[in-house]
């Protein structure tokens, strides 16, 4: 059995008799004792031997004990040492205050009893031990948090790759008529559940960024109405599958916001998805209006359902992380308890607010989002119309996931493109050099040569005429920035919807 290490105490005093007496008291109490007679000597001993406690007389022949303490605290190598000031002459309260504010942990006035000195040293050692435990735990938590973020990023990548293959395969099937109603229903189920899984992955990764305040917006001038229509288009089949009515009231004109359209879509997808999920009968209403004028004008979006409602005890914390309206053991509604936390944070980042209301279980719920309108004069210029570019283009697909590669190849060939494929970065670069494509779709997480280095190599060896699109399971903003710096024209997060990919190809 390993014996516990004896605590070491550095005794600093220029009076030889006093120093000897304190040394004897500490040695008899079982401590290892070091000594110094000057302030500079104390600093040198502290650096060399790292004592647990420094008993530091205030009056020293070279520099004062106050300055010694301040220097100990300023040095990271000695900052954690416990310091006990002692004094026989500077005993006024203002001197004690100066010592304690300068970094000392305790202050004893001489003469003091040996038992008082030992008890004070023991107290400081307990405090030091507690601080060390807390510091060690904080370091462990920081390391665990770092590993958790790495795990979530890898988890997102590993989940998005199979989701990408499924979504691309469904995109191919949708372009052919179903043989019967049953097949059409099965396709719808796969499509809805794939979209649901993709949203869960996005939420899971976003909540990690939110807890560290690392969510970034990419705002622009956005009309809220098309954003909501896009959300409704995705969620309408889910409402139909549950036999729910989905009533929508939209204003006749646009509602311009300075906002991130993707994040707004995430907000309202979460709210409408929850409303549908927690409603067994009746329906869901989406009402959109404008309130206020000029500088105070806001877009107001209300999502109201006839569902299970929210218990009054849960309502005040419904936006907290992992809060759940359905707390029963069955947990039939699913969900991670993070969607509403994301909603609140994203709305706040847009300068808005979100409110929740319910009269209790069985009474339904209402969520109200208020977002400030953009007061810039006039609408933005219309987007440049892109010609139909469905002629066969030479496309290079670099993807290491075999199913995703095959599904994407089939989809691109269905659209009439000539497709060359490579399972890793080195083969992708070699193919591009020997047969230069017009456009390359490149996965980032490739074996051998990652997608960033592939882009750099293609820019250097093929030139700027080729269009490069990154497709990745890593969805962080830092990945997008690195992709653009590496030479990519666009950055897409898997799973990429076929319609979105078709639009990107046409624009490029």
- CA dihedral 340→345→346→352, nearest 10 degrees, is 100
How many angstroms separate the CA atoms of 214 and 61, rounded? 53
Is residue 489 in a domain?
Answer: yes
In tens digits, what is the pLDDT along the chain, a chain of 508 residues?
434 568 999 999 999 999 999 999 999 999 999 999 999 999 999 999 999 999 999 999 999 999 999 999 999 999 989 999 998 765 677 888 888 888 899 998 888 889 999 999 999 999 888 888 888 898 888 888 778 777 777 777 777 778 888 888 888 887 788 888 888 888 888 887 787 777 777 777 776 666 666 677 778 899 999 999 989 988 898 898 889 999 999 999 999 999 988 889 889 999 999 999 999 899 999 999 999 887 789 999 999 999 999 998 888 888 886 555 555 434 445 555 678 888 998 999 999 999 999 999 999 999 999 999 987 655 454 444 444 445 678 999 999 988 889 999 999 998 889 999 999 999 999 999 999 999 999 999 888 899 999 999 999 999 888 999 998 877 666 778 888 899 999 988 888 888 888 888 888 7
- The residue segments making up the domain with residue 35 are 8-112
Secondary structure letter of residue 88 according to DSSP: S
Is 153 in the same domain as 90? no
Is 239 in the same domain as 361? yes
Contact, 461 vs 485, CB < 8 A? Answer: no
* Per-residue pLDDT, 25: 93
Is residue 200 in a domain?
Answer: yes
Is residue 317 in a domain?
Answer: yes
Is 366 in the same domain as 409? no
Distances (CA, A) of 139 to 40, 285, 428, 474: 32, 48, 42, 26
Is 37 in the same domain as 69? yes
Is residue 140 in a domain?
Answer: no
Is 316 in the same domain as 244? yes
Is residue 141 in a domain?
Answer: no
Is residue 399 in a domain?
Answer: yes
Contact, 479 vs 492, CB < 8 A? Answer: no
Considering its fold, how many domains does the chain have in total? 3
Q: CATH no. for residue 280?
A: 3.30.565.10
Is 225 in the same domain as 365? yes
Is residue 328 in a domain?
Answer: yes
* Per-residue pLDDT, 186: 86
Please state whether 192 falls in left (phi above 0), alpha (psi between -120 and 50) or beta.
alpha
Predicted structure pTM score: 0.56
Is 91 in the same domain as 155? no
Question: How would you class 260 by CB atoms within 10 Å of its CB: exposed for 0-12, middle for 13-18, buried for 19 or more?
Answer: buried
Is 227 in the same domain as 357? yes
Contact, 491 vs 470, CB < 8 A? Answer: yes
Contact, 8 vs 52, CB < 8 A? Answer: yes
Is 191 in the same domain as 309? no
Q: CATH no. for residue 405?
A: 3.40.50.2300
Domain boundary among 346, 372, 398: 372
Is 48 in the same domain as 157? no
Is residue 139 in a domain?
Answer: no
Is 281 in the same domain as 263? yes
Is 354 in the same domain as 225? yes
Using alpha carbons only, what angle is made at residue 187 by residues 181 and 188, rounded to the nearest 5 degrees? 90
């Amino acid at each position: 059995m390993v014996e516990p290490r004896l605590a070491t105490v550095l005794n600093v005093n220029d009076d030889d008799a006093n120093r000897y007496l304190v040394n004897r008291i500490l040695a008899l109490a079982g401590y290892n004792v070091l000594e110094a007679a000057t302030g500079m000597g104390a600093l040198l001993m502290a650096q060399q031997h790292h004592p647990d406690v420094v008993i530091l007389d205030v009056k020293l022949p070279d520099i004062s004990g106050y300055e010694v303490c301040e220097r100990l605290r300023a040095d990271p190598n000695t900052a954690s040492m416990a310091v006990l000031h002692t004094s026989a002459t500077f005993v006024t309260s203002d001197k004690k205050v100066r010592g304690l504010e300068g970094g000392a942990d305790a202050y004893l006035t001489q003469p003091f009893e040996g038992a008082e000195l030992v008890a004070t040293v023991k107290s400081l050692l307990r405090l030091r031990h507690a601080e060390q435990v807390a510091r060690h735990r904080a370091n462990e938590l920081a390391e665990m948090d770092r590993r958790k973020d790495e795990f979530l990023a890898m988890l997102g990548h590993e989940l998005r790759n199979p989701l990408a293959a499924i979504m691309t395969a469904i995109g191919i099937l949708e372009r052919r008529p179903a043989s019967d109603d049953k097949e059409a229903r099965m396709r719808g189920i796969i499509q809805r559940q794939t979209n649901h899984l993709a949203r869960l992955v996005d939420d899971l990764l976003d909540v990690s960024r939110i807890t560290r305040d690392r969510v970034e917006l990419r705002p622009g001038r956005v009309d809220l109405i098309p954003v909501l229509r896009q959300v409704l288009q995705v969620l309408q089949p889910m409402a139909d599958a549950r036999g729910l009515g989905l009533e929508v009231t939209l204003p006749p004109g646009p509602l311009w916001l300075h906002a991130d359209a993707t994040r707004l879509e995430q907000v309202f997808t979460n709210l409408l998805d929850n409303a549908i999920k927690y409603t067994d009968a009746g329906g869901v209403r989406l009402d959109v209006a404008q309130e206020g004028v000029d500088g105070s004008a806001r877009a107001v979006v209300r999502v109201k359902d006839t569902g299970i409602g929210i218990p009054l005890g849960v309502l005040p914390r419904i936006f907290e992380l992992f809060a759940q309206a359905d707390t029963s053991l069955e947990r039939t509604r699913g969900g991670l308890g993070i969607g509403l936390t994301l909603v609140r944070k994203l709305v706040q980042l847009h300068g808005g607010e979100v409110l929740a209301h319910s009269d209790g279980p069985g009474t339904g719920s209402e969520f109200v989002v208020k977002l400030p309108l953009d007061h810039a004069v006039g609408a933005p210029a219309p987007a440049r119309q892109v010609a139909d570019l469905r002629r066969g283009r030479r496309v290079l697909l670099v993807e290491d996931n075999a199913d995703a590669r095959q599904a994407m190849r089939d989809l691109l060939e269905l659209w009439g493109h000539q497709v060359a494929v490579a399972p890793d970065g080195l083969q992708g670069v070699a193919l591009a050099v020997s047969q230069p494509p017009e456009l390359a779709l490149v996965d980032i997480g490739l074996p051998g040569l990652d997608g960033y280095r592939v882009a750099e190599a293609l820019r250097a060896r093929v030139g700027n005429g080729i269009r490069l699109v990154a497709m990745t399971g890593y969805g962080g903003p830092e990945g997008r920035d690195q992709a653009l710096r590496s030479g990519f024209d666009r950055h897409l997060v898997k799973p990429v919807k076929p319609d979105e990919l078709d639009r990107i190809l046409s624009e490029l």
